[in-house]
Amino acid sequence: MTTDDDLLRLENQLCFAMVTAARNVVAVYRPILEPLGLTHPQYLVMLALWERSPRSLTDLSAELALEPASASPLVKRLEKDGLVERARSTADERRLDITLTDAGRTLRTRAIDVPRAVMAAVGTGIGEVASLREALTPFAGRTAADR
């Protein structure tokens, strides 16, 4: 039987486990992404752009579950590094389109082993990662249909 005291133990808190895991996941990615010249948030932007480019800043922000004001500095840094270009849309000048450069497309080839390196670093496989990701979906605010 679970007591009220058990429910309030720090080690039993989902929020604590998730915050700790998130911090540790970023720490695992850091040395793997460093040779690519990417931070974890920049890597997420590049993943989205490798799936589809060009994308509007609004679309990119929504895909990454970020506010445009948070995504914009990431994109600006990637532009400074020569991986993306930002340009006003010819169809709607209010829209800012983000496009991969040749260097950004080429970086994908170097990044292809990042998921395997992460799995090796934590001693897990693709099936376990998929199960964990699916278990987190309700907490991530996105459903499988959103993806």
The pLDDT tens digits for 99-117 are 999 999 999 999 999 999 9
What are the backbone dihedrals phi and psi of residue 65, each rounded to the nearest 5 degrees, phi first? 55, 45
Is 57 within the bounds of a domain? yes
Is 100 within the bounds of a domain? yes
Contact of 33 with 40, CB cutoff 8 Å: yes
Parent domain of 118: 4-137
Q: How many domains does the chain have?
A: 1
Distance between CA atoms of residues 129 and 136, nearest Å: 11
Is 125 within the bounds of a domain? yes
Task: Flag whether pLDDT at 146 surpasses 80.
Answer: no
- Percentage of the chain surpassing pLDDT 70? 96
Contact of 58 with 68, CB cutoff 8 Å: yes
* Rounded CA Rg of the chain: 18
Is 127 within the bounds of a domain? yes
Is 145 within the bounds of a domain? no
Tell me the whole-structure pTM to 2 decimals.
0.86
CATH code of the domain covering residue 54: 1.10.10.10
pLDDT at 109: 96
Give all strands (DSSP E) within the chain, no chain letters: 55-56, 84-88, 96-100
Is 144 within the bounds of a domain? no
